[in-house]
Structure 1
Amino acid sequence: MISEGPWPSGSAWFLGVLLGFDMLAALVCVLAPQAIGALGRWAGTLLHYPLTGFLIFLVIANLAYLPPHLGFGDGFWFMPGHFPLPLQASRVLLYPTFFVAGIAIGAAGLRAGPFAADGALVRRWWIWFGLSYSCYGAILLLAYAHHNWIADFDSPPLWWRTAYGMAVASFCAAMAFAVPTFFQRWAKAPLALMDRVQPSAYGIYLLHFLPLLWLQYLVYDPAWPAAVKFAIVLIGTLSVSWLAAALLRRVPLVARII
């Protein structure tokens, strides 16, 4: 994988994308420090009217996703050489769009801004989840149509690709509202296991791909029920990656990172 490629990075591939965005954001902070504050004020003002703010974000997300999606398809990745720094071509504009939106929300503030725990957005978290799963239902319906009703599976018609792209972009936009409002709403709920996992969560994210990959190979051949294989992979992956993250966090320099 290293000498000939491709060199898969697993689910951590997005860290390379985030690092590039972070470097650009740091440069903006140095060259135009007032820009971040202005972005936060604009987001805060816009989200005083949640439905209007969401509809604007929905349109932006679709504009960012549809042209690359229709141009490249979903299976093409930009892969520099053999290095584990891939970027999905269809989302090349969607990722920076959501990153800038995240900066704007962060600058507006999670304590007193539009995503404050006692704000209108958070109180109606279930609406955003309803929208999210409505869009996800549309994705499933279109996938079903692709498998059962479209004659040329490898070359679906333009209407299907457009509808599928809009469903995906709309799902992403709705989840961008659903996830932070959900966690703000339930942040103080007494969930003992999740509270214990939380300090090692980033380390688990970084490390889980290796045990996940090899445990899947381990259970591939035995004729066990799917539920048993699922339980082995889930419990084993979480246990191994959690233990490894907890041990690594005992190293002071590593603990500052993960």
Structure 2
Amino acid sequence: MNTEIRAAAAADTARPSGRPRLHWIDTVRIALTILVLAHHCAVTYGNIPVWFYNEPPHDPSASALDILVVINQSYFMGLFFLISGYFVPASLDRKGPAAFARDRLIRLGLPLLAFVILVRPLATLWSWRTNHADVPYPLYYVTSIDPGPTWFLEVLLVFSLIYAGYRALTSRAVRKPEGDGKLRWIVAAGTVVGLIVIMGILMAVWRQFVPDGTYWPIVGLPTPSFLPQYALMFAAGVLAARRRWLERMPGSLAFVGAGLAVLAAIFLGPVLMSADPVASSIAGGVAMAVLGVGLSLVVLVIFRRFAPGTGPIRQFLSANAFAVYVIHPVVLVALALLLQGLVAPAIVKFAVLLILSIPACWLLAALLRRIPAVRKII
């Protein structure tokens, strides 16, 4: 995965310019990629039928899967955007706006196109045969087309090109990364609170017009109600890069993030269930801002503290994580079909599917990346 998720293929290296490689961020990306697999395994057997293959649940354990999906959604894609943004300035500094934009079109655009043309037809074949066989497959495919989980690459590409355009227009001199010691706690905490406040306001207003559960067809964005979170987390990553905030932030921010997340769940959770759509959308927007930033801080600090190094296994997982992100729908659907005959609670089938899908996805990704043309892109 050598770039953002490598997964976001956006920064050529997981390090700010002139600094040692940040192996712990590679490990965060690996963990987030596994979480993507878990997320889609959960929707396969849960009560939220938004995947290429779903089995209607028949037991209460599916509710636990729904909770997992909601918690994941509150922060994990925002964290992907934060990490991606963190490496964009250094990449653009090295290449210049024009070369950077071309690189992103290749590294993000080609995998996106490959998913739509090659992966998605395989992932949707079962759904067509069981639910839409009366319609010719080409017509079904065209009328239902979207980028699936590679919407992330689509949105990241847009964000990256906007930043490249900004840099090209402003023609600002390149600033080297600053600072070596820890950030002052009051500065770091104040910045985090400021980010949450701005994000909470924007999310609350945005959700009045784009409520939770909205889907944008063709563009394929499954969670447009989170778009302000994604944009602000990417921007926060870009701004944090110059002063190396992810490396220098105090570890105690994890407790701040965890505490805010708990308070948001306690005080805003009941309002989310309100019959008043305005109150519910405001509470949801604020809660997703608090959880998005708070839980991201917890994850970053934990991995920085406890997973600073690397090794052959982590290098293998890191190198292939982006490819896993692109191809995993086909693997999950194929394995879920093989597990159709397994009679078990939803949460058990989820666990079996996840345990099987992790090695299967990484092995298939490694095989595909033996093809030189594939390896150059993902």
Alignment-derived partner of residue 184 in structure 1: 304
Gaps of 5+ in 2: 1-139
The amino acid of 1:71's aligned partner reads: F
Aligned residues: 237
1:56-88 superposed Cα distances (whole Å, 9 cap, x missing partner): 1111111221111122211223334xxx54263
From 59, 62, 68, the equivalent of 2:206 is: 68
2:153 is matched with 15
Note if contact 1:138-1:167 (Cα within 8 Å) is conserved in structure 2.
no
Query: CA 1:91–1:209 in structure 2 vs 1: closer, same or farther (change >3 Å)?
Result: same
How far does the alpha carbon of each residue in 1:168-217 deviate from its partner, in whole angstroms, 9 at most, with x for none? 11111213433333332233257875454222112111211221233334
Name the CA distance, whole Å, in 2 between partners of 1:130 and 1:191: 29
Query: CA contact under 8 A between 1:13 and 1:86: conserved in structure 2?
Result: yes
Contact kept, 8 Å, 1:40 with 1:103, in 2: the verdict is no
Secondary structure of the structure 2 residue equivalent to 1:3: helix
Measured in 1, the distance between the counterparts of 2:354 and 2:183 equals 43
2:7 counterpart residue number: none
In 2: Cα distance, 1:91 partner to 1:227 partner: 27
- Asked if the contact 1:207/1:245 (under 8 Å) is kept, the reply is yes
- Tell which deviates more after alignment, 71-80 or 189-198: 189-198
Q: What is the DSSP-based 3-state SS (H/G/I as helix, E as strand, rest coil) of the residue aligned with 1:78?
A: coil
The sequence identity of aligned pairs, in percent, is: 24
CA distance, structure 1, for counterparts of residue 266 and residue 322 of structure 2: 32
CA contact (8 A) 1:129 1:174 kept: yes
Of 249, 270, 278, 1:142 maps to 270
Displacement of 1:227 after TM fit?
4.9
Measured in 1, the distance between the counterparts of 2:311 and 2:265 equals 29
Report runs of 4+ in structure 1 exceeding 4 Å deviation.
Answer: 35-41, 44-48, 189-195
Task: Give the match for residue 165 of structure 2.
Answer: 27
Match of 2:217 among 79, 102, 105: 79
2 CA distance for matches of 1:184 and 1:138? 28
Question: What pairs up with 1:97-112 in 2 under 5 angstroms?
Answer: 97-109=232-244
Residues 99-152 of structure 1 show CA distances to partners (whole Å, capped at 9, x for unaligned) of: 11111112322xxxx322xx4x34325314523641563489438x72xxx5x5
Q: Which moved more, 1:239-248 or 1:211-220?
A: 211-220
Q: C-alpha separation between the residues in 1 aligned to 2:225 and 2:278?
A: 15
Matches within 5 A, 1:21-60: 21-34=159-172, 37=175, 49-60=187-198
Whether the 8 Å CA contact 1:139–1:167 is kept in 2: the answer is no
Root-mean-square deviation over aligned CA pairs: 3.4
Greater CA deviation, 195-204 or 27-36? 27-36
- Paired with 2:206 and 2:174, the residues of 1 have a C-alpha distance of 27
Pairwise CA distance, 1:21: 0.9
TM-score for the superposition, normalised by structure 2: 0.54
**Higher relative contact order (CA closer than 8 Å, sequence separation 6+):** 2
| 2:295 counterpart residue number | 175
In structure 2, distance between residues paired with 1:47 and 1:29: 30
TM-score by length of 1: 0.75
Aligned to 2:371, which of 243, 251, 256? 251
